[in-house]
Amino acid sequence: MPRPGRSSRKLRIGALNLTHETVTFLGNDTTLQDFLYDGSPLRGEALLRSDPKGYMGGFVKQAREFPEVELVGIESPLWPKTGIASGWVTREAFEHFVGRMLSELERLGPFDGVYLALHGAMAVRGIARPEVELARRVRLAIGADAVIAATFDPHGNQGASFFDAADFAFAAKYYPHYDCYLQGERAARALVRGLRGDYRVVSATRKIPIISPTVMQWTGAAPWMNLVQRCLTWEAREPDVFVNLFFGFPWADTQDAGMAVQVMTNDQPQLAQAIASDIANAAWRARHALLSSTKIHAIEDCVGLARQAIAAGAGPVVLADHSDRSGSATWLLHAIVAQGLRNTLVVAVVDAQAIAGARAGGVRPGDPFDAPVGGRVDVSAGAPVRIQGRVEHVALAAEGSACGSAWMSVRFGNGNLLVISEYLVQIVEPATLVAMGLDLGGVDVVAIKSRVHFRRGFDDSGFAGTILLVEPPEPFLGTVRLDGLVYEHLDLTRFYPYGQPDFDGSVAQAPRP
């Protein structure tokens, strides 16, 4: 049965998008202008088609299988052009886009429901919980009887307070995030069920005092795989149960950082509490294994290890600098040059100055190149590295670029190729490199800036013979040694492994103020 007062007219559902994974330790704020570019913001059908293989794509496909549903794409920005290589979102940017969304909801309304495509680790200056604040304002705009459903990244820093304003939340479970489309589908079905009166959400949340670097959180192996499987088992054995396991995002210095589990049931409060307790206690028991299962190598050692792997026939080798959050870091490039590594593809080092100079100078393939590259932005990026060689590729218009950034490549040394980009480039598939026109034949080593997402195309596909996760010896931004960072809003001693918190997942916890 539909909710009381619901007529037989079509169910009108607005869809909007506001996502950012904020690295608050970076010095460059994410501004209004960063969200404004060709293709952002979008509205209407363009927004609904903007992420065909992700959360939005799954939501739209499933929602349109219900003949009584009408979808309306509300004007929304996409990811900023800086990607995840930018810091605090400015209050101006947040208020601008949220204001536009609310105005459009009111102008095009009434709406029976709203879908929020979120990330969960957005940090906005002056707003403690931006996703909660967005849901609260949307609720005020569409009314108490409407249904709000959202999707999240598992790296969200979320707690119980989101359910104060919204009805449903669905987070991807895998890292790499293979199930975004699936969670979008779930959100659509749940939203329609909520409108029909077929699902009354009762939720339970546990904040688990574990904080972990994202490079540790790969779900392709134990122990993280075991936690994901435990959530899936509960969902399989109990009808109408949904479990979100937020791994947390430690680079957003916010009060809700850290691990959390959310459970939704269809009007079964005791079951929700029991499942939340079970998952929370399982995570707490595994806390040591969760933070000790990933091997990190010092950059100064990785060239020798790569050579050993190649000599043993265990190539190609992927050197993944998980710690570079700006994209400008040169520590790995310096080691490659200083130690004479051969046949290496480096994708990429950010140098907006070099890209601007190439644009102004009309650089073309075949031109000589002799210039310092990278570094400069802060101490975590290191010093520029002088590269001497010849330009091989030039793609200085970001629009339509396979890697999503303006870029060029320089051939140098003994068979090496360096990609220089305007913004951070996280390569997750070898196919992206091929689409960029880069020849992988004869490449012994691929050096990238990625934490776990690259496993999608380089590990799970069988491409890489050896994978080495690397970082500099200093605890720079992105390090696995979080106590080397200066937190202002978060007390690390409240979390394992930096303190000795007492925890009993069986105890229901009220949301923090």
Contact 32, 90 (CB under 8 A): yes
Residue-wise pLDDT for 293-317, tens only, equals 999 999 999 999 999 999 999 999 9
CA-CA distance, 257 to 236, in Å (whole number)? 29
Q: How confident is the model at residue 511, as a pLDDT?
A: 43
| Planar angle of CA 267, 270, 272, nearest 5 degrees | 70
How many CA atoms, within 13 angstroms, populate the side-chain half-sphere of residue 192?
19
Average pLDDT of the segment spanning 198-210: 97
Angle in degrees, CA 321, 478, 332, rounded to 5: 30
Percent of the residues in the chain that have a pLDDT greater than 70, as a whole number: 97
Residues β-bridged to residue 408: 394, 420
**H or E element, residue 55:** helix 55-63
pLDDT of residue 499: 95
Instruction: Give the whole-angstrom CA distance, residue 20 versus residue 153.
Output: 10
Give the global pTM. 0.94
Distance, CA of 292 to CA of 223 (rounded, Å)? 10
- Peptide bond connecting 110 to the previous residue in cis, omega within 30 degrees of 0: yes
Token pair recorded at residue 16: 């909007």
The whole-angstrom separation of Cα 416 and Cα 276 is 51
Give DSSP secondary structure letters for 199-257: --EEEEEEEE-B---GGG--TTSTTHHHHHHHHHHHHHHSTT-EEEEE---TTS--TT-
Vertex 346, ends 175 and 224: CA angle to 5°? 15
Q: What values do phi and psi take at 230, rounded to 5?
A: -65, -40
Give the span between the Cα atoms of 405 and 386, in whole angstroms. Answer: 22
The position carrying tokens 């149960």 is 241
What is the rounded distance in angstroms from the CA atom of residue 95 to the CA atom of residue 91? 6
Tell me the pLDDT band of 402, cut-offs 50, 70 and 90. Answer: confident
Structure token digits, residue 22: 């904020």
The 3-class secondary structure across 416-479, one letter per residue, is: EEEEEECCCCCCCCHHHHHHCCCCCCCCCEEEECCCCCCHHHHCCCCCCCEEEEEECCCCCCCC
Q: pLDDT tens-digit profile of 456-496?
A: 999 999 999 999 999 999 999 899 999 999 999 999 999 99
Chain Cα centroid distance, residue 86? 13
Query: Which pLDDT score is estimated for 397?
Result: 82
- What is the per-residue pLDDT for 7? 54
Question: What is d(CA 491, CA 498) in angstroms, rounded to the nearest whole number?
Answer: 9
For 223-252, write each residue's pLDDT tens digit. 999 999 999 999 999 999 999 999 999 999
Distance CA(170)–CA(358), nearest Å, equals: 44
The pair phi, psi for residue 66, each rounded to 5°, is -95, 115
For 319-359, what is each residue's pLDDT tens digit?
A: 999 999 999 999 999 999 999 999 999 999 999 999 999 99
What pLDDT is attached to residue 8? 63
Name the band, by pLDDT with cuts 50, 70 and 90, for residue 510.
low
Model confidence at 172: pLDDT above 70: yes
Mean pLDDT, range 120-141, rounded to an integer: 97
Helices (H), 64-90: none
Cα–Cα distance, 110 to 233 (Å, whole number): 39
When pLDDT is averaged across residues 59-86 and rounded to a whole number, the result is 95
Residue 399: which pLDDT band, with cuts at 50, 70 and 90? low
Site of tokens 């699936």 = 182
Cis peptide before 213 (omega within 30 of 0): no
- Written in H, E and C, the secondary structure of 100-132 is HHHHHHHHHCCCCEEEEEECCCCCECCECCHHH
pLDDT at 513 over 50: no
Would you give the end-to-end CA distance of the chain in angstroms? 36
